Chain A
Amino acid sequence: MKITLNRGEPDILIPAEGTYPYVRGGVSSWIAQLIAGLPQYTFGIAFVGSKQEEYPKKPLYPFPDNLVYIVELYMFDEDEKPPIKALDGEVDTFKQIQKLYEWFRGNEKELPFPEDIKKLSFYLKTMDESVFLYSRESWYFTSQKNNENSSDTPFLDYFWTVRSIHLPIWKMAKLAKFIGDKGKIIHSPSTGYAGFLSTLISYDKEKPYLLTEHGIYTKERKIDIISSTLSGYKKLDLFRESGEDNYIQNMWVKFFEGIGKMSYSRANPILSLYSVAKETQILYGANKDICRVIPNGVDVEKLAKTLKHRPKGIPKVITLIGRVVSIKDIKTFVRAMRITASKIPEVEAWIVGPDDEEKEYAQECRELISVLDLTEHIKFLGFQNIADILPKSGLLTLTSISEGMPLVILEGFAAGVPCVSTDVGSCKDLIYGGENPEDKALGIAGKVCEIANITQLAEGYIKFLTDEEAWLDAQRVAIERVNRFYTQELFLDTYQKIYEDIFSELETKWQE
């Protein structure tokens, strides 16, 4: 734990798990926008990262004056573990854990969250790190669970999974103690570890906890887990039984679902960016009465200025703004470009975003491009100012397999660029219109395709780049939609209102 900025007391504390100010992306921009847009409040950030060496040395965002406090914690940095010592541990402690597991598994929302486990002292005293790591009771508990639930799983894998899953809990508990007094409101941009941290602080210090979920954390983690190789050891497929690896993967999934549920049980209100996300939250255990959609907003005016710089006609340029990582499925974009380039020989594709996050994947994309003979057509531009890129683009695209609410689409709309995207996150709401009938009535601002369907994507590209009438129509819808429903002003006003409500509630509480 390291305080890197301390110039006042924050009103609102934002736990940032792997995001602002060291990682770029939707959540980071959202945080930056929120802090800069509401200068009447002071903000604090609790950055939670994996290993320090995995992040840049300097923050990627300039700090506004009202960002007054930053603390950083790296979960997997080798820091001092408690000294190794054999312990007995208490049977009762593990009965509590058993209760928690039952609560994790339970589907009934009525079952109250186990009382003892709410307390921070449970993690710091009753069941501290050394009890978990070294006690005999902990060993019996783990062995017994293994015996009951997956006696066929290699025990070493099981054991390490249990350890790796749970160790961050104590990191979070220590951090919660450390920053317990910072901020009157906790506003978490995700569930997961950040949400767990918020839950702990919220229970311990009786603070309001406000959750804005961008993607669905639990779902995102599921994708990570299933696509990762969990164990260095793999049996030949022939000898592997189907349940074997899945149990370990399932443990992770269940764990993230569990701590997600803890967030949902405490946070109020629970916000999401689009309607599908809200429904998923409810499915995972959120109370639907306190769930609400607040979409992101963009600085429309700034981007509208770029409209003047647009050349006549439709630039034959398809732009994908995003990191070159597997979740963005850049390869599908490349393949769709093969079809498009055959129809429109002068077409160009620009990939705007850092490519150093998954170097191997980026390399594979480059190889695919050269195999498909597209080196003339596809350019990696790295990180760029979108105000320069958008006026030169004819179409914006996203081929991701998962998204929350992609701001780039809105930014593109504001700059008058229609979008062809896969059906992920809020893309359908943005392109075809949201729940509001007025919004739908505006028309379509591009095309939504199936995930990884290169034919549909290519058809969309070709249609909008060749059919000027359709393109102009989509541009009109795009500009109008973003101006009516997704402006930064609307976004900031809504949050200001929410903060005001919570603060006035706090005040009345104080007066009582």
Chain B
Amino acid sequence: MAGIGFELKQIIKEKSLTSVMKTFGYSAVLSSGPWVISMIIILGIGLSSVYLSRSSVSNQLMLQASVSYVSALAISSIYTGFFQLPFTRFIADRIYEKKSYLILPNFIGTLIVTIVFGFLISLPLSIFLFDTQTNLFLLLYISLFVVLSCVWIANILAASLKLYKLVILFYLLGYVAIYISSIFLREYEIIGLLLSFLIGNSLLFFMLFLGIIYHYPSYNNKNKKFIRFDMFQSTFGKFYWKLGWSGMLYNIAIWIDKAIFWFTPIVGYVVIDKLHASMVYDFPIFLAYLSIIPGMAIFFYRLEVDFAMAYDKFYRAINRHGTQKQIKQHKQEMINAVKISLQEILFVQGMFNILLFLGAERLFELLLLPKLYLPLFYVDVIGVQLQLGFMSILAYLYYLDRQKEALYYTLFFVLLNAFLTWISIQLGPFFYGYGYSITLLILFVASIHTLNNLLQELDYRTFMLQ
């Protein structure tokens, strides 16, 4: 009898789902956590210096050192922003393939690449930025830049280990070291301060590095190499360009409004050589960033507990032969988890903001800040809250492997933030801070819409468009 019959295949490409994205989704969010910690510490140092030494000379030095440090922080995070997400995804893929023995060699390989390019970037950069400083200063700045870049890479891998408490402890230890060494090195003025930043960050890096080495296997029969460059050589699949660009753009976007203020003549002023600061803009916004902490904690909790679980159940229902009803039900649970997390961010953060608003005047008095900053502070607090919301949605987008949408949104973030900030400066002091906050309002609302569409069609996309 003639006939060829039929063929059956029914395995959804499991790789694009479940465990890979789980590891990856976390780290994408967690990477921004330490950034906030750094921000807090800078402020702490800045404020404490205000109290500890009343002399204006030392104040000026502190400011110069802080601004140099912030520039190294910002530019190194933008630079490594390009590697952070692709590297995390690379790691997540390898863990999924049960090839975790490749992680350590590739971590070292990525560090080497980071160091080499970090050096190539920071050398001309430091010469350009600091044309009146000593060579020792330049050397310290370059070292600081490279060490910070390494910290970002180590940090993202440490975050994927989910040793949150330990990572936070490392950060605290690192910054305690900065504080203590800055007291001892005070007499060396700006060099001493930069050196203490370098000491603290090096300590932080070594602790993260040791933690990683301790956790990941370093020897395996299948790999005898100590250093590998698989991610850059695309040994196991293409480099995730979209993730690289969106990571970098995100970091550009969160600094661009500040940079515009620094370098606009009316609002910014020279601090050290080519580096500027903005008296009106900087302090309120860094202070407002502090308010992000409770909302962030809630988001992590919701992401890990509710969403991750619903996400797991959804894909398990598909791959373990659940009925349509079960699949739809788990999809709805996922949507609910997203909804609840956003609601809670808005609610808890909102409550916290009201408290901040009520206490702001007292707080400013306590910190000896001019009340002139108050309106800007209020606007910034709202903007920061919206940024947290937008960040959460970006995290969901990474989680759902929507790299293209994430890339568009981060690009949009850069452009809109730059444009609206510029407009706000043109409109006058009353509008300072609105550029940033309105940017995030637009992005938050638009990205909710996108995420909603994606989630509603998640089953369609999973089945039909794979």
Interface residues of A (CB under 8 A from B): 16-19, 23, 25-28, 48-50, 75-76, 84-86, 133-136, 138-139, 143, 146-147, 151-161, 164-165, 189-190, 192-194, 214-215, 217, 220-221, 224-225, 230-233, 252, 327, 402, 404
Max chain B C-beta neighbours (<10 A), residue from A50, A135, A327: A50
Q: How far is the CB of A128 from chain B (nearest CB, A)?
A: 15
CB within 8 Å for A160 and B321 given contacts A193-B4, A215-B1: no
Report the separation of the CA atoms of residues A225 and B326 in the bound assembly, to the nearest whole angstrom: 27
Q: How far is the CB of B164 from chain A (nearest CB, A)?
A: 36
Report the separation of the CA atoms of residues A50 and B6 in the bound assembly, to the nearest whole angstrom: 8
B5 and A151 contact, CB distance less than 8 A: no
Q: Which single member of B2, B318, B322, B325 contacts A189 (CB below 8 Å)?
A: B2
Contact partners of B323 in chain A: CB under 8 A: 151-155
A17 and B1 contact, CB distance less than 8 A: no
Q: How far is the CB of A245 from chain B (nearest CB, A)?
A: 11
Q: Which 3 A-B pairs have the closest CB atoms?
A: A154-B321, A160-B10, A19-B2
Q: Which residue of A lies closest to B11 (CB)?
A: A232
Q: Which residue of B lies closest to A133 (CB)?
A: B464
Report the separation of the CA atoms of residues A230 and B327 in the bound assembly, to the nearest whole angstrom: 21
Max chain A C-beta neighbours (<10 A), residue from B2, B6, B10, B460: B2
Contact partners of B466 in chain A: CB under 8 A: 84
Number of A-B contacts (CB under 8 A): 116
A217 and B9 contact, CB distance less than 8 A: no
Q: Which single member of B2, B5, B320, B465 contacts A214 (CB below 8 Å)?
A: B2
Contact partners of A233 in chain B: CB under 8 A: 320-321
Q: How far is the CB of A192 from chain B (nearest CB, A)?
A: 5
B8 at the interface (CB under 8 A from A): yes
Q: Which residue of B lies closest to A31 (CB)?
A: B2
Report the separation of the CA atoms of residues A400 and B318 in the bound assembly, to the nearest whole angstrom: 41
Report the separation of the CA atoms of residues A84 and B12 in the bound assembly, to the nearest whole angstrom: 15
Contact partners of B459 in chain A: CB under 8 A: 139, 143
Max chain A C-beta neighbours (<10 A), residue from B3, B8, B319, B321: B3
Contact partners of A153 in chain B: CB under 8 A: 323
Given contacts A17-B2, A18-B4, A217-B3, 16 further A-B contacts (CB under 8 A): A17-B3, A50-B5, A85-B465, A86-B457, A138-B464, A147-B324, A147-B325, A151-B324, A155-B323, A160-B8, A161-B8, A189-B2, A192-B3, A217-B1, A225-B6, A233-B320
Q: How far is the CB of B13 from chain A (nearest CB, A)?
A: 12
Q: Interface digits, B430-466 against A, CB 8 Å rule (1 contact, 0 not)?
A: 0000000000000000000000000001011101111
Contact partners of B465 in chain A: CB under 8 A: 84-86, 134
Report the separation of the CA atoms of residues A156 and B322 in the bound assembly, to the nearest whole angstrom: 7
Contact partners of B97 in chain A: CB under 8 A: none
Report the separation of the CA atoms of residues A105 and B195 in the bound assembly, to the nearest whole angstrom: 83
Contact partners of B6 in chain A: CB under 8 A: 164-165, 221, 224-225, 252
Q: How far is the CB of A367 from chain B (nearest CB, A)?
A: 26
B321 and A75 contact, CB distance less than 8 A: no
**Interface of chain B: mostly helix, strand, loop or mixed:** loop
B187 at the interface (CB under 8 A from A): no
Report the separation of the CA atoms of residues A230 and B7 in the bound assembly, to the nearest whole angstrom: 9
User: Which residues of B161-213 have CB atoms within 8 Å of chain A's CB atoms?
Assistant: none
Q: Which residue of B lies closest to A404 (CB)?
A: B1
Can you show 7 pairs from A to B with CB atoms below 8 A apart? Answer: A27-B2, A50-B5, A85-B465, A136-B460, A164-B7, A221-B5, A233-B320
A156 and B5 contact, CB distance less than 8 A: no
Report the separation of the CA atoms of residues A402 and B457 in the bound assembly, to the nearest whole angstrom: 47
Report the separation of the CA atoms of residues A190 and B4 in the bound assembly, to the nearest whole angstrom: 11
User: Which residues of B322-347 have CB atoms within 8 Å of chain A's CB atoms?
Assistant: 322-327
Contact partners of B457 in chain A: CB under 8 A: 86, 136
Report the separation of the CA atoms of residues A362 and B101 in the bound assembly, to the nearest whole angstrom: 45
A86 and B461 contact, CB distance less than 8 A: yes
Report the separation of the CA atoms of residues A354 and B464 in the bound assembly, to the nearest whole angstrom: 41
Contact partners of A134 in chain B: CB under 8 A: 464-465
B3 and A220 contact, CB distance less than 8 A: yes
Q: Interface digits, B202-226 against A, CB 8 Å rule (1 contact, 0 not)?
A: 0000000000000000000000000
Report the separation of the CA atoms of residues A215 and B457 in the bound assembly, to the nearest whole angstrom: 45
Q: How far is the CB of B8 from chain A (nearest CB, A)?
A: 6
Q: How far is the CB of A276 from chain B (nearest CB, A)?
A: 15
Contact partners of B1 in chain A: CB under 8 A: 25-27, 190, 214-215, 217, 220, 327, 402, 404
Report the separation of the CA atoms of residues A255 and B426 in the bound assembly, to the nearest whole angstrom: 69
Report the separation of the CA atoms of residues A165 and B5 in the bound assembly, to the nearest whole angstrom: 10
Report the separation of the CA atoms of residues A139 and B328 in the bound assembly, to the nearest whole angstrom: 13
Q: How far is the CB of B367 from chain A (nearest CB, A)?
A: 52
A232 and B10 contact, CB distance less than 8 A: yes
Q: How far is the CB of A225 from chain B (nearest CB, A)?
A: 7
Q: How far is the CB of B332 from chain A (nearest CB, A)?
A: 14
A155 and B2 contact, CB distance less than 8 A: no
Q: How far is the CB of B366 from chain A (nearest CB, A)?
A: 55
B464 and A139 contact, CB distance less than 8 A: yes
Q: Which single member of A84, A133, A143 contacts B324 (CB below 8 Å)?
A: A143
Q: How far is the CB of A431 from chain B (nearest CB, A)?
A: 20
B2 and A16 contact, CB distance less than 8 A: yes
Q: How far is the CB of A119 from chain B (nearest CB, A)?
A: 25
A156 and B460 contact, CB distance less than 8 A: no
Contact partners of B9 in chain A: CB under 8 A: 160, 164
User: Which residues of B25-68 have CB atoms within 8 Å of chain A's CB atoms?
Assistant: none
B318 and A155 contact, CB distance less than 8 A: yes
A155 and B3 contact, CB distance less than 8 A: no
Contact partners of B7 in chain A: CB under 8 A: 50, 76, 164
Q: Which residue of A lies closest to B325 (CB)?
A: A151
Q: Which single member of B2, B4, B10 contacts A156 (CB below 8 Å)?
A: B10
A157 and B10 contact, CB distance less than 8 A: yes
Contact partners of A159 in chain B: CB under 8 A: 10, 463
Report the separation of the CA atoms of residues A327 and B2 in the bound assembly, to the nearest whole angstrom: 13
Q: Interface digits, B288-331 against A, CB 8 Å rule (1 contact, 0 not)?
A: 00000000000000000000000000000011111111110000
Contact partners of B327 in chain A: CB under 8 A: 155
Q: Which residue of A lies closest to B465 (CB)?
A: A84
Report the separation of the CA atoms of residues A49 and B5 in the bound assembly, to the nearest whole angstrom: 9
Contact partners of A76 in chain B: CB under 8 A: 7
Q: Which single member of A50, A138, A155, A231 contacts B4 (CB below 8 Å)?
A: A50
Report the separation of the CA atoms of residues A192 and B1 in the bound assembly, to the nearest whole angstrom: 12
Q: How far is the CB of A379 from chain B (nearest CB, A)?
A: 26
CB within 8 Å for A231 and B324 given contacts A16-B2, A25-B1, A50-B5: no
Q: How far is the CB of B408 from chain A (nearest CB, A)?
A: 16
Q: Which residue of B lies closest to A400 (CB)?
A: B1
Q: Which single member of A133, A224, A231, A327 contacts B10 (CB below 8 Å)?
A: A231
Q: Which residue of B lies closest to A327 (CB)?
A: B1
A139 and B463 contact, CB distance less than 8 A: yes
Contact partners of A84 in chain B: CB under 8 A: 465-466
Contact partners of A158 in chain B: CB under 8 A: 324
Contact partners of A133 in chain B: CB under 8 A: 464
CB within 8 Å for A155 and B322 given contacts A17-B3, A225-B6, A402-B1: yes
Max chain B C-beta neighbours (<10 A), residue from A18, A156, A327: A156
Q: How far is the CB of A170 from chain B (nearest CB, A)?
A: 15
Report the separation of the CA atoms of residues A86 and B461 in the bound assembly, to the nearest whole angstrom: 8
